[in-house]
Chain A
Amino acid sequence: MTSTKNMLEARGLCKQFGPTVALEDFSLTVPEGEVVCLLGANGAGKTTTINLFLGFLQPDRGEALVGGIDVAEAPFEARRRLAYLPESVALYPKLTGLENLSFFDQLAGGSRSPQDLSKLLLDAGFPKEAHHRRAATYSKGMRQKVGIAIATARQARALLLDEPLSGLDPSAASTLGVQIGKLRDDGCAVMMATHDIFRAKEVGDRIGIMMHGKLVNMLDAASLDAREIEQIYLEHLREADASRHQEHAL
């Protein structure tokens, strides 16, 4: 039986693209009010994991559960409980930030007033003077903040973040980190893919290290400092490379 506390749960997920193994026997649980960061290089399987939880991909084996619902069986039911923030939040450039938020709110079945939506934007750290400007003029940081507001508006119990802080200046990344922390404090289960060790340490409660489609370690972020996490990560990287070389040699 699945614990209701576990909003996101992966059970032995496997995904292969042709000969390439993208994810192998991946299991993980993220309870409400916790941020789990998936740390790994490009191609480690972080985005594949998020896409499996979104139902954009079908697993070859295993299950991805959102609030106990199997995504492969009932993707729409599962998505009702989810919010998603990609690496670069894509907004409709001809619409203002407020209009974009209103659209996504309606898409989720909401019907908030412009005042409520404006408040959500302000809460996400989005400057008031930009609310009525077209999104085409926004910086990446501003778009990410609108993304946070969209996620908040959905009142989702689980949040999937795919490299949301990459390419942001330190100040914007820090602000966004604070916003993610707020969502966690509100009881949201957060899974964040990143290759930034220091941000993972700052935002995450637990850090899962991924190598070549496998979750090789799960670390408690509070008990380690960033340098220690980096040492562990590099060690895993060396081991994984050595093991791959051996496989090639054979």
Chain B
Amino acid sequence: MKRAILYLESLNFIARGPALIATAIIVVTIGYAGWSGDRWRDAKRSGLESFEAEKLDALAKWRDGLVQIENGTRQAKPRDANPMSISFPAVLPPSSLGDFAIGHADLHPDSAEISPWRNPSSMFGRYQFDNPTTLASSRFDVVVVIILLLPLLMIAVSFDVLAGDRARGALSMVLSFPIRLTSLAWSRLLVRNGLLWVTAVLVMTCLLLLNDAGGDRYARFGLWLGVCLAYGLFWLTVIALCVAYIPTAINTAAALVAVWMVLALALPATVTTISEAAFPTPSRLAYLSEIRRAQTETNRELDRLTAKYLIDHPELTVGNEELPSFYRAAFISNQIARDRTRPILEAYEAARAGRAQTLRWAQYLSPSIIAQRLLNFTADADLDRQHRFQAQARDALEQLSVAVGPAVVSRNRLSAAEFDTLSLFSFQERSLAELAWLAAVPMAFLLLSSALLAVVAHRRLGAIRLHD
């Protein structure tokens, strides 16, 4: 029987049917998305590498100067080897699977300057140069193809697996043979959708090999495929359910398109809008205002603030008085800005946690939300990674401020030995185990709901009587 169905589908669907168009669409869209993602990632990587090299080069020169002053091989001017001039690069490296998903990675800062000149607001530099028109439409990455396009193609090739034959009268002819309707429906659904998914997996595997970026790319790809297939399985069972319950092809197609619209567009849009309204983040303008206030306060009360700092650090002795006061002013201003904006950042984190919590539950309303999140997580294109980078960079800045603050305020230099205890910034990635843990429950939900839908669809298919 399976041989017969394969024979039928190979001629009716694959050789002379919509399979060629559908597979061509998959090859072109995933292929293009991967190619364009790779170009984007390469550009990003090269920009980050040159930034990092430039900063590290400057840092090495600064240290050389300090060593020369310490060795007495160089006559030191007051501004030379000043601790305020220490500047570490902090970069968020593109993910090993970054060509598959762009997600939030094109909107947020991916580099920062860890320097006492900087405060938590200014450390990420000026990065807002992208065209807002193109940013607003989002990129066409592999996630878009998987989440939006593939379910539509699955619907297009599957909606008439029974209804088409039924309308032509071929179904009663086929079922006059010793074949179950359930076997017929599932076999055809599996052949048709299997072809689409095999094509998609093959194209993605080609991208994996062609755009190889090393690292944990292959392990991540394994998880990526798992999510894709679980999502595909969900849609397969939704289609099977509609095929089982709705006798006419037009109504099956209408219902499936409506389900797609609700699950892939309307629900994610509504969930986002409602969660953002329920957990508003503190305004960036309020953040700006606090920093401005901190700067004014420092300007007005530099002497009092310096004295306070020195009282808090009785071990300090004031060094070179020739050094301009704006070094000290800038440092203290940044410390005040940091302290003043801390509650705002905390409120921001609280709002973000609220939204994340909402989404953790709301994702179960739509498999598109689950798959979109998990794919972005797997390819490190999620919002959380951007925020973790910013938080880690802020922590690094704070550590540097603690290390150089006394020297800056007391107008002294750091020793080379003290400098060498400072460590370079390295972004702490989420481990694969964490990623797998994060994906476990939503994946289990996808699989369980698919299984449930499959059972209901199977029962219904088994109960269908052609002429009742």
**Interface of A toward B, CB cutoff 8 Å:** 47-48, 51, 54, 56-58, 76-77, 79-80, 82-84, 86, 88-95, 99, 102-104, 106-109, 147, 150, 154, 160
Given A90-B165, A106-B7, residue A79 in contact with residue B465 (CB < 8 A):
no
A45 to B173, CA, bound (A): 19
Chain B residues within 8 Å of A90, by CB: 165, 168-173
Chain A residues within 8 Å of B465, by CB: 56-58
Query: Closest 10 interchain pairs by CB?
Result: A84-B176, A106-B4, A90-B170, A90-B169, A76-B178, A107-B4, A94-B16, A79-B178, A90-B168, A56-B466
Chain A residues within 8 Å of B17, by CB: 94
Given A92-B8, A92-B170, residue A104 in contact with residue B177 (CB < 8 A):
yes
| B178 in contact with A80 (CB, 8 Å) | yes
Question: How does the 8 Å CB contact mask read for B135-179 relative to A, with 1 for contact and 0 for none?
Answer: 000000000000000000000000000000100111111111111
**Interface of B toward A, CB cutoff 8 Å:** 1, 3-4, 7-8, 11-12, 16-17, 165, 168-180, 465-468
| A86 in contact with B169 (CB, 8 Å) | yes
Tell me how many residue pairs across A and B have CB atoms closer than 8 Å: 80
Chain B residues within 8 Å of A104, by CB: 4, 173-174, 177
Chain A residues within 8 Å of B170, by CB: 90-92
Given A90-B165, A90-B169, residue A54 in contact with residue B176 (CB < 8 A):
yes
Given A57-B468, A94-B11, A99-B11, residue A107 in contact with residue B172 (CB < 8 A):
no
| B8 in contact with A57 (CB, 8 Å) | no
Known: A56-B175, A95-B16. 8 other contacts (CB 8 A): A47-B467, A56-B465, A82-B176, A86-B173, A92-B11, A92-B170, A95-B11, A106-B3
| A94 in contact with B12 (CB, 8 Å) | yes
Most chain B CB atoms below 10 A, which of A57, A77, A90: A90
Chain A residues within 8 Å of B3, by CB: 106
| B468 in contact with A84 (CB, 8 Å) | no
Question: What residue in chain B is nearest A74 (Cβ atoms)?
Answer: B178
| A102 in contact with B468 (CB, 8 Å) | no
Given A79-B176, A84-B173, A92-B170, residue A51 in contact with residue B467 (CB < 8 A):
yes
Chain B residues within 8 Å of A99, by CB: 11
| A107 in contact with B11 (CB, 8 Å) | no
A89 to B172, CA, bound (A): 10
Q: List 30 A-B contacts (CB under 8 A).
A: A48-B467, A54-B175, A56-B172, A56-B175, A56-B466, A57-B467, A76-B180, A77-B178, A79-B177, A79-B178, A82-B176, A83-B176, A86-B169, A86-B172, A90-B171, A90-B173, A92-B8, A92-B11, A93-B168, A94-B11, A95-B16, A99-B11, A103-B7, A103-B8, A104-B174, A104-B177, A107-B1, A108-B178, A109-B1, A150-B173
A83 to B8, CA, bound (A): 19
Given A95-B12, A103-B7, A107-B179, residue A88 in contact with residue B174 (CB < 8 A):
no
Chain A residues within 8 Å of B4, by CB: 103-104, 106-107
Question: What residue in chain A is nearest B174 (Cβ atoms)?
Answer: A107
A83 to B4, CA, bound (A): 17
Chain B residues within 8 Å of A147, by CB: 173
A88 to B167, CA, bound (A): 12
Chain B residues within 8 Å of A86, by CB: 169, 172-173
B385, chain A: closest CB distance, angstroms: 49
Chain A residues within 8 Å of B174, by CB: 104, 107
Chain A residues within 8 Å of B11, by CB: 92, 94-95, 99, 103
A84, chain B: closest CB distance, angstroms: 4
